[in-house]
Structure 1
Amino acid sequence: MTGRRSFLKTATGAGALVTLGQMGGLPGVTAAEARLPAHLVRFHPDIEPLVRLLEETPREKVLEEVAIRVRQGLSYREVLAALLLAGVRNVQPRPVGFKFHAVLVVNSAHLASLASPDSERWLPIFWAIDQFKSSQAANVREGNWLMGRVDEAAVPKGHQAREAFIKAMDNWDESAADAAVVGLTRTAGANELFEIFARYGARDFRDIGHKAIYVANSFRTLEVIGWQHAEAVLRSLAYALLDRSGAKENPAKADLAADRPFRQNVEAVKAIREGWLAGKMEAGATKEMLQGLRTASAQESSELTMKLLNDGIAPQSLFDAYFEGAGELMMRAPGIVSLHAVTFTNAIHYAWNRVQDDETRRLLLLQNAAFLPLFRGDRPDEGTRIDALEPVTPEATGDEAVAEIFAEISEDRLLAARKMLGYLEKGGSAQAISDAARRLVFLKGTNSHDYKFSSAVLEDHEQLSPPWRDGLLAAGAFYFRGSGERDNELVGRIRGALEK
C-alpha cells in the first residue's frame, strides 16, 4: 500500500489516552488545527496535540520544542506515550525492522532511561524522538503510509472477537485481523491479549526475530504509559505479525521454511512430560544444549530441548544455554543478524515469564531453541567459544579498570571481552560495567541497535545463573560502544535544549 492509504480504514474511539491536563504549557490548538484527515486513526483530544507536535515539527526543531514543554511541566510518561503513538501512526510496521525501529526502540530507550542518573534520564527519550523523525521521513519517501481508521462495521462483538482474531491470524487475513483485534482490545484484558500475541510473535522466522521483539516491547511500553493506549498499538502489532516478507503464497496454505519450526513444535510440545517446570539446575545440561546450538539444525535443537526437559532439567538451565549461545554468535560474527539472536532471546524470555498457559510456555522454549540455529545459518562451528573465553586481568583496578576496558573496546573487542571477564572474575562490579555501557550508548550511540542490544544484554545478565552471567556480559563487548568513539552530536543539543 502506498500514498496516504493504510492497511486500516478507521480510527477507534476507544483506546483513549492518558489525560495530559494542560500538556505542560502546550499552546492551545484550534478546532481547525486539530482536525485530522478523515481517514486517519485519531487519538483522544488530550494526547492528540502532543502527538501532532512530534509529527509536524521539523526534525531540526522538535527536540527544542519538546524541551520547552518539559521545562513547563510535561511529564516523562506523557512524552513516552506520544512518542509511541506517533511512531505507530506514521511508520509502516513492514518490514518489522529498518525504519520501524523508531517504534521498536521505545521500550529499550525507556529501560535505559530508568537505569540512568537523574541528570541523564531524558537523553534516551530525546534520542528516540530524533529517531522517530528520521523514520518518519523515510516512511514518507517510501510511500507515506499512515495508519487509518478501522472499519467499525467489521468489528466483531465482544464475545466473538477472540475467536475471530485467532481465525484471522491463523489464516493470515489482514483485514479480518484488524477488525477483530479492535473488538478484542475493547473487551479483553492485557494478560489475555498477551497470551495470544506471544504465540504469534514466535510463530515464524520472518524479519529475523523482530516480530517477537515487537510483541514484548509494545506490551512493556503499554504497561508504562497505560492500557488505554492499546488499541492503535495492537492494530499495528497485528499487521506487523502478518508480514509475509514478500512471499506470494499464503503461509496458512503453503509449507514455507520460515513457518516449519512452529508447525513441528506445536505438535512436539505434547510429548513434554508433566511436571516439566520442576526440573533441576544442571551446568552439564547447559553445556550440552550450548554445544547443540553450535551445530544442530532447528529441528534437532528443539528435539534436544525436549529431551533435556523430559530428563528432568529445569528450563533455567536451557535459557542459560540460549543466552550464552546468542552471545557467542555475536562474538563470532558481530553484526545485525547475530545481534538479533540476542534481542530475540531477550523477548522470548520476557514472554515466557509473563504467559501462564502451559502449552505456550513449552512452545516458546522450543521456538527459541529452533530459531537460534537459523540465526547461526551455515557458519561453521569455528572461532571463540563463550565458555572458553580466557580472562585477562586489566592493568588498572576499580573505576580505572572499567575505563581501561571500554577504551579497549575501541581498539580490540576480543581483548576487551577478555579483560571484562578477568575484571568480573576478580570481584569487579558488574553494575559499574553496566553503568559505563549505558552512558557510552547515550554519548556515542548512533542507531536503535545500540539501545536494543545494550538494554537486552544488561537485563539478561541479571537473568542468568551465576556461573554463566559473566560470559554474557563479556560478550557484550563485541557490540558495546567504546570510549574512543566519536561523541553523538545530539547529546549537546539535547542538554542545551533542556537547560535553557
Structure 2
Amino acid sequence: MFRSPTRREFLQSAAWSGVAVAAGEWSFLGRLPAVSAQEARQPLPRVAFDRSIEPLVQLIEHTPRERLLEDVAQAIRRGASYREVLAALLLAGVRNVQPRPAVGFKFHCVLVVNACYLASVNGPDADRWLPLFWALDYFKTAQADEASKSGWRMPAVNERLVPDAQHARDLFIEAMERWDVEQADAATAGLVRTTPATEVFQLFARYAARDFRAIGHKAIFLANAWRTLQVIGWEFAEPVLRSLAFALQNHEGDPVPARNDLPADRSWRENEALAARLPAGWLDGRVEAQAARSLCATLHAATPSEAAAAAAQLLAEGVGAASVWDGVFLSAGETLMRQPGIVGLHGLTTANALHYLWQHVGPDDLRRRLLLQACSFAASFREAAQRRGPLQPLTIDSVPAEPDPRVALDDVFAAVSRNRLEAAVKLRSYLAAGGSPLAAIDQARRLIFVKGRDSHDYKFSSAVLEDYSHVTPHWRDQFLALSVFNLKGSGDRDNGLVARTRAALES
C-alpha cells in the first residue's frame, strides 16, 4: 500500500511524471537564470524601495502588454532576481488596481500572486519562471480594466492622520469596528511603521473573516499578502496592507455594518459566543474519521448557524480540530462536485485561507472563532451555490474507493476534459490501488502551467494541492479526487504561455 507522504515530501516533490509535454518544449527556460526552491523561499535583504524596486515596478506598470514579457526577461538577464520580480509584481498590483467595487474580478491580479509563487516553488527549477510570467501578463489586463473604468491609483497616505506608536493599534481597531476607510488607511500606515509584523497580522486576522461578502476573498487576501510579504520582505508591507485594509472595509453597497444587523456579518458575531463555550482542552481532541464524515453530512444541508453548532458539539465531545477541518474540506469539495463553478471553487480556496490563518494566529479565542467561522462559511458557500441553481444529488460517497490497478494518470487527466465525475472516480480508484498522490499532484500542477487561462486556475490548484497535506491521512485521497472538478485536463486547450515566454526569452 502506498505510504502517505510527509509534508516535507509533499512540498519538495518535483517528479513531473506522465505529462504529455516533451522536455524540449521547456528547454528555452534555461535562457533565464535558474531559480532553486531554496532561493525562491529566502526573504530579501532590506531594499530601498525607491532605488531598487521602484524602477522594476515602473517597468511593469508602463511597458505595453505586448512588450512586457520581453522587457522583464531583459531585466532578469541584467540581474533582477526572482524575488525582486515577485515584489514588483505585487506592488504594481496594489498601486494600480483597487479592491472595488468588489474584492475580486480585476483585483485577482493581486490575489493570484501568492498562488503563482506557490506553483513556482513547488515546481522544478527549470520551470520556476512560468507562473510569474503568466501573472505579469494577467496584471496588464487588470491594469487596463482599472484605467478604463476609474483611472484609480493608490494615493499617498495622509501623513497628518498617521498615528504614532502609542495610538496606532487602538485607532486601527476603532476604524475597523466603525468601517471607517480613511482612519483605517492612516492607522494601517502607523501600525506597519511601529508594530512588530506578527502583531499586525494578528490584528488583521480579526477582520479578514468577519463577513461573507466577496465570497471569501478578504481572508484569501490576508493569507496571500502575509505569505508573499514573508518572501519579499516586510519593507514592502505598507502599500500592501493599506490595500488590504481598504478591501476589508468593502461592504458592497450594504448599509454600514457597524450600525446594522446584516446576514453577511451575523455568523462572526454568533460564533464569538459559541467559541467562548468550547472546552478548555478543545485542541487536544482525537482524530476521528467518522466525525469528519458526520460533519460533512451535516454541512450538506445545514444553515451557517447550524454548521458552527454541529462543529462545537463535536469539539465538546472530544473530537479534535483536525477532524473538524476534515469536515470543512470535504464539504467544500462536495459542494464543488454538486455545482462546479465559481462559487464552489471559492469554497475551497477560502477554506485554504481560513486554515492558514487558523494555523498561524496565536490568541486562543481567535483560533476558536476562525474554526467555527470556517464551518459557517462552508454552509454559506453551499447556500450561495443553491441561489445560482440546483445542486446535483451527489455526496462524497459518489466517488467510491474501489481499487483499479488498470487506471493510469493519463486516463485520469484525459477524463477531466470530458467528464469530471468520471475523472474523480478514476483518480480515487488509482489512489486506492496504491497509485502515487504526489505524481497526481505534480501532473495536475504541470497542466496548470500549460493550460491555465484564468487566475482561478492558479488560485484553486495551489490551494487544493497544498491542502492535500492538511487533510488527515484517512481522507486525503478522497479530498484529492474531489479536486478534479476544477483542475485542467490533458485535452484542454493550451494557454499559449509557453510560446509567449519562448518568444520573450529568444528576442
Structures share fold, TM-score greater than 0.5: yes
Separation (CA, whole Å) in 2 of partners of 1:64 and 1:193: 38
Separation (CA, whole Å) in 2 of partners of 1:486 and 1:246: 38
Counterpart for residue 79 of structure 2: 73
Go from structure 1 to structure 2 and tell me whether the alpha carbon gap of 1:465 and 1:444 turns closer, same or farther (over 3 Å shift).
Answer: same
Counterpart for residue 273 of structure 1: 279
Query: TM-score if structure 1 supplies the norm length?
Result: 0.89
CA drift of 1:197 comes to 1.0
Letter aligned with residue 498 of structure 2: V
- Which range is displaced more, 221-230 or 386-395? 386-395
After TM superposition, list the pairs within 5 Å mapping 1:185-224 onto structure 2: 185-224=192-231
Go from structure 1 to structure 2 and tell me whether the alpha carbon gap of 1:44 and 1:481 turns closer, same or farther (over 3 Å shift).
Answer: same
CA drift of 1:18 comes to 5.8
CA drift of 1:390 comes to 2.4
Q: How many residues align?
A: 459
Letter aligned with residue 74 of structure 2: I
Q: Name stretches of at least 5 consecutive residues in structure 1 with no aligned partner.
A: 1-16, 22-42
Does residue 293 (structure 1) correspond to residue 299 (structure 2)? The answer is yes
Separation (CA, whole Å) in 1 of partners of 2:124 and 2:52: 30
Does residue 355 (structure 1) correspond to residue 361 (structure 2)? The answer is yes
Separation (CA, whole Å) in 2 of partners of 1:115 and 1:411: 27
Counterpart for residue 129 of structure 1: 136
C-alpha contact (below 8 Å) 1:89/1:146 kept by paired residues: yes
C-alpha offsets along residues 201-236 of structure 1, whole Å, 9 cap, x if unaligned?
100000000000001000000000001100000000
C-alpha contact (below 8 Å) 1:20/1:78 kept by paired residues: no
Q: Name stretches of at least 5 consecutive residues in structure 2 with no aligned partner.
A: 1-43
CA drift of 1:393 comes to 5.5
After TM superposition, list the pairs within 5 Å mapping 1:66-465 onto structure 2: 66-94=72-100, 95-247=102-254, 249-377=255-383, 379=386, 383-391=393-401, 396=406, 401-465=408-472
Structure 2 counterpart SS, 1:47: helix
Separation (CA, whole Å) in 2 of partners of 1:467 and 1:358: 27
Letter aligned with residue 239 of structure 1: F
C-alpha offsets along residues 364-394 of structure 1, whole Å, 9 cap, x if unaligned?
0111111111110173775221144124666
Go from structure 1 to structure 2 and tell me whether the alpha carbon gap of 1:56 and 1:179 turns closer, same or farther (over 3 Å shift).
Answer: same
Separation (CA, whole Å) in 2 of partners of 1:472 and 1:392: 15
Does residue 49 (structure 1) correspond to residue 29 (structure 2)? The answer is no
C-alpha offsets along residues 137-182 of structure 1, whole Å, 9 cap, x if unaligned?
0101111111011111101110110010000000000000001011
- Percent identity over the alignment? 52
Go from structure 1 to structure 2 and tell me whether the alpha carbon gap of 1:196 and 1:425 turns closer, same or farther (over 3 Å shift).
Answer: same
Query: TM-score if structure 2 supplies the norm length?
Result: 0.88
Comparing both chains, which one has the higher relative contact order based on Cα–Cα distances under 8 Å and sequence gaps of 6 or more?
2
C-alpha offsets along residues 429-455 of structure 1, whole Å, 9 cap, x if unaligned?
111111111111111110000000000
C-alpha offsets along residues 254-302 of structure 1, whole Å, 9 cap, x if unaligned?
0111001011112221111111111111122111111111111100111
C-alpha contact (below 8 Å) 2:405/2:433 kept by paired residues: no
Separation (CA, whole Å) in 1 of partners of 2:505 and 2:402: 42
Moved over 4 A (4+): 17-21, 391-397
CA drift of 1:189 comes to 1.4
CA drift of 1:44 comes to 2.5
Separation (CA, whole Å) in 2 of partners of 1:382 and 1:480: 19
CA drift of 1:72 comes to 2.4
Separation (CA, whole Å) in 2 of partners of 1:272 and 1:449: 36
CA drift of 1:469 comes to 0.4
What CA RMSD, in Å, does the superposition of the two structures yield over aligned residues?
1.5
C-alpha contact (below 8 Å) 2:339/2:391 kept by paired residues: no
CA drift of 1:45 comes to 2.7
Structure 1 counterpart SS, 2:98: coil
Separation (CA, whole Å) in 2 of partners of 1:20 and 1:296: 50
Letter aligned with residue 385 of structure 1: T
